[in-house]
Amino acid sequence: MHAREFKEMSVEEAMKALSCSSEGLTNAEAQKRLETYGINEIPTKKKSMPLLFISKFYGPIPIMLWLIIIISYVLGHIVDFYVVLALLIFNAMSLLQRNTRQTHQ
């Protein structure tokens, strides 16, 4: 049934259509629905670690750092070039470490 159909029903009609009562489901009915439909959860997609690492180099701040890296190299500011490049890599590694820590909790 669609949500639109439930909006037009009374509470009693909706409960009858869903095979439930105002007291809730019985243990047997809950077990039956669990076996039929499975656990009520949204599956999460896991990204591979290399793709997650590469994705940390794209976005507003990393793009700005890439521009600084290019400008530093073109102007011959090699020390600035390496410092900002190190910051970009460190940022990606720290975000990657934070993501892996959150997924393992």
- For the stretch 27-84, pLDDT in tens is 888 899 899 988 888 877 777 777 777 777 788 888 999 999 999 999 999 999 999 9
Range of the domain at 29: 3-37
Please count the structural domains in the chain.
2
Q: Please indicate, yes or no, whether residues 25 and 54 belong to a single structural domain of this protein.
A: no
- Cα torsion for 61, 64, 65, 67, to the nearest 10°? 160
Q: Please indicate, yes or no, whether residues 9 and 33 belong to a single structural domain of this protein.
A: yes
Tens-place pLDDT, residues 24-36:
888 888 899 899 9
Which amino acid, residue 41? E
User: 43 by DSSP, 3-state: which?
Assistant: coil
Q: Please indicate, yes or no, whether residues 72 and 99 belong to a single structural domain of this protein.
A: yes
Predicted pLDDT at 103: 61
**Of residues 42, 49, 58, 39, the one with CA closest to residue 104:** 49
Tokens read off for 11: 């509470």
